[in-house]
Amino acid sequence: MTVVATPPAPKLELPPLKLGPLTVDTPVILAPMAGITNSAFRRLCREYGGGLYVAEMVTSRALVERTPESLRIIAHDDDEKVRSVQLYGVDPVTVGQAVRMLVEEDRADHIDLNFGCPVPKVTRRGGGSALPWKTDLFTSIVRTAVKEASNGNIPLTIKMRKGIDEDHLTYLDAGRIARDSGVAAVALHGRTTAQFYSGQADWSAIARLREALPDIPVLGNGDIWSAEDAIRMVRETGVDGVVVGRGCQGRPWLFGDLMAAFEGSHERHTPDLRKVAESVYRHAELMVETFGDEGKALREIRKHMAWYFKGYVVGSELRTKLAMVTSLEVLRGTLDQLDLDSPYPGGDAEGPRGRAGSPKKVALPKDWLQDRTMDAEQAREICHAELDVSGG
Ligand SMILES: Cc1cc2nc3c(=O)[nH]c(=O)nc-3n(C[C@H](O)[C@H](O)[C@H](O)COP(=O)(O)O)c2cc1C
């Protein structure tokens, strides 16, 4: 991998991140991303840098029921020093059972709860990022989870959005409730549900949360596309660590850049096309190991192609072929057709990537916004907010 010194990044004095008994030397977290942050991708990222690498979200009910997919999601490689699992749930009892299972069976060293999912089929039932609006349910889930996790001395954190929309912000209340319930840290994605992934993350909200919770670590999330963005977020908001999602899609080496920047080094990865092709192939091989099924692994790798080759000179015919690969052999043959000596294209390979979308009216249960506590019908209906959920 070519590593060059690009514009100087002034040294930032940021201590290691403390999450309960855990110390994360580089205060960088790979954001949980359903369909992306499986053990194959985590390994690729980990090989470049330090930090904490969170698995894809798993629903607490599926985990308690021990579905094969949920057990795959929470499986970690033997050399993952901190096994980080993210749970999604809407029912305190089931979330509590899932945390207990992780603790008693020694399956995690860190557990995060997802309160950021903006998907309409989830918020329509009151789940995901709609849930913190109901402070009674939110409190009950977080308290139960913290209590169960504390039995194993496992730090429990939460990840949330700013609120439902600008008129219905929840992050300050939710942050205080979580702090008072004993969480080890809170992470804030600086968008509302209504924004989905559109517009720009509001880092000033992250700064406000940092100020409101002086006694626990606050982690900032949203629109970190480069190591320089991460440093800027820390400077502008005072957060104790950064959570990086889409910025590392197709760029696992971003974790190397982030580690360098946090250590005050100016070195950045600028891979030529050969290095990118090597990484794609290795990613595919690791996916085959993870899924134990070459066809499925190759179908899964297809969505990564546009991210890996963003900004590089790759003709449309080859791009189409790459997005349709069916086997490692076909992938190898297609990668070999690239002009592998093409250099790093600079700015074109950087910047926003992945999900964007546009603002949406938020789908919510009837009368959801009228009260900050649950009524009987909402309490009956919310269990449906845990079926068939994927991602945040
Ligand atoms: C494909 C995809 C899947 C995601 N899945 C999850 C998830 O399982 N749990 C979660 O808390 N957030 C999830 N998110 C949200 C990210 O963790 C992160 O909060 C969001 O992308 C904003 O950060 P970014 O600007 O660095 O991407 C997902 C995002 C994407 C793009």
Q: In this predicted model, what pLDDT tens digit does every residue of 165-210 receive, in sequence order?
A: 999 999 999 999 999 999 999 999 999 999 999 999 999 999 999 9
Per-residue model confidence (pLDDT) at position 388 = 59
Residue type present at position 385: A
**Dist. CA 173–CA 59, nearest whole Å:** 24
Going by C-beta distance under 8 Å and a sequence separation of 6 or more, which residues neighbour residue 180?
none
* Catalytic residue from among 45, 117, 248, 383: 117
Are 171 and 162 contacting, i.e. CB atoms less than 8 angstroms apart?
A: yes
Q: Which atom of ligand 1 approaches the CA of 57 most closely?
A: 8
Are 85 and 60 contacting, i.e. CB atoms less than 8 angstroms apart?
A: no
Q: Which residues line ligand 1 (CB under 6 A)?
A: 31-36, 56-57, 86, 114, 116, 159, 189, 221-224, 244-247, 354-355, 391-392
Per-residue model confidence (pLDDT) at position 383 = 81
Per-residue model confidence (pLDDT) at position 55 = 98
Q: Which atom of ligand 1 approaches the CA of 112 most closely?
A: 11
Q: What is the mean pLDDT of the chain?
A: 94
Are 269 and 49 contacting, i.e. CB atoms less than 8 angstroms apart?
A: no
Convert the pLDDT of each residue in 311-348 to its tens digit. 999 999 999 999 999 999 999 999 999 999 999 999 99
Is 117 catalytic? The answer is yes
Low-confidence residues in the chain, pLDDT < 50? 9
Name the closest-CA residue to atom 13, ligand 1.
392
**Dist. CA 161–CA 83, nearest whole Å:** 24
Tokens at residue 235, please? 């400077």
Ligand 1 center–CA 260 separation, angstroms? 24
Q: Which atom of ligand 1 approaches the CA of 244 most closely?
A: 26
Per-residue model confidence (pLDDT) at position 13 = 75
Fold annotation for 18-269+361-386: TIM Barrel (3.20.20)
Per-residue model confidence (pLDDT) at position 10 = 56
Convert the pLDDT of each residue in 40-68 to its tens digit. 999 999 999 999 999 999 999 999 999 99
The preferred substitution site among 123, 189, 203, 226 for testing ligand 1, maximizing ligand atoms within 8 Å of CB, is 189
Angle at 137 between CA 148 and CA 59, to 5 degrees: 60
Hey, do 18-269+361-386 and 273-343 end up sharing a CATH topology, with the first three levels equal? no
Per-residue model confidence (pLDDT) at position 12 = 72
What backbone phi and psi angles, to 5 degrees, belong to 20?
55, -125
Longest dimension (CA), the chain: 64
Ligand 1 center–CA 146 separation, angstroms? 23
Ligand 1 center–CA 391 separation, angstroms? 7
Name the closest-CA residue to atom 1, ligand 1.
33
Pick from 302, 320, 318, 313: nearest CA to 346? 313
Tokens at residue 101, please? 């299972």
The preferred substitution site among 33, 85, 255 for testing ligand 1, maximizing ligand atoms within 8 Å of CB, is 33
Q: Which atom of ligand 1 approaches the CA of 159 most closely?
A: 11
Pick from 38, 97, 109: nearest CA to 66? 97
Model pTM score: 0.96
Q: How far is CA 141 from the centre of its chain?
A: 20
The CATH code of the domain at 273-343 is 1.10.1200
Per-residue model confidence (pLDDT) at position 385 = 78
Ligand 1 center–CA 221 separation, angstroms? 9
Ligand 1 center–CA 154 separation, angstroms? 23
Name the closest-CA residue to atom 3, ligand 1.
33
Ligand 1 center–CA 318 separation, angstroms? 29
Are 13 and 20 contacting, i.e. CB atoms less than 8 angstroms apart?
A: no
What are the boundaries of each domain within the chain? 18-269+361-386, 273-343
